[in-house]
Amino acid sequence: MMAIQYEIIETIAVLSESPKGLTKELNLVSWNGRDPKYDLRDWAPEHEKMGKGVTLTKEEVLKLKESLGNFN
């Protein structure tokens, strides 16, 4: 199985931290050398391990931001 390569280009926000020390983060990440995307997932303290997450394009992030602005 091929290893996934990633580079965290920018940490945008750390949203929470679990009792086990994992942090839920919104980052700009390049996966396997591709153009960076916005990424929301749990990370181990040194970013050596990650949980399942979701990646979003800039357009998707802007749509989410608009939707959350209307969220009550």
- Would residue 62 be called left, alpha or beta, if left means φ above 0 and alpha means ψ between -120 and 50 degrees? alpha
- How far apart (Å, rounded) are the C-alpha atoms in residues 9 and 27? 7
1 lies in a domain? no
Identify the CATH number of the domain in which residue 57 sits.
2.30.31.70
53 lies in a domain? yes
The number of domains in the chain is 1
19 lies in a domain? yes
65 lies in a domain? yes
pTM confidence score: 0.88
Sequential pLDDT tens for the chain (72 residues): 778 899 999 999 999 999 999 999 999 999 999 999 999 999 999 999 999 999 999 999 999 999 999 887
Instruction: Give the pLDDT confidence score for residue 71 in this predicted structure.
Output: 81
Per the CB < 8 A criterion, the answer to whether 39 and 57 are in contact is no
Instruction: Give the pLDDT confidence score for residue 33 in this predicted structure.
Output: 96
| Amino acid letter, residue 11 | T
41 lies in a domain? yes
52 lies in a domain? yes
> Residue 61's domain spans which residues?
6-69
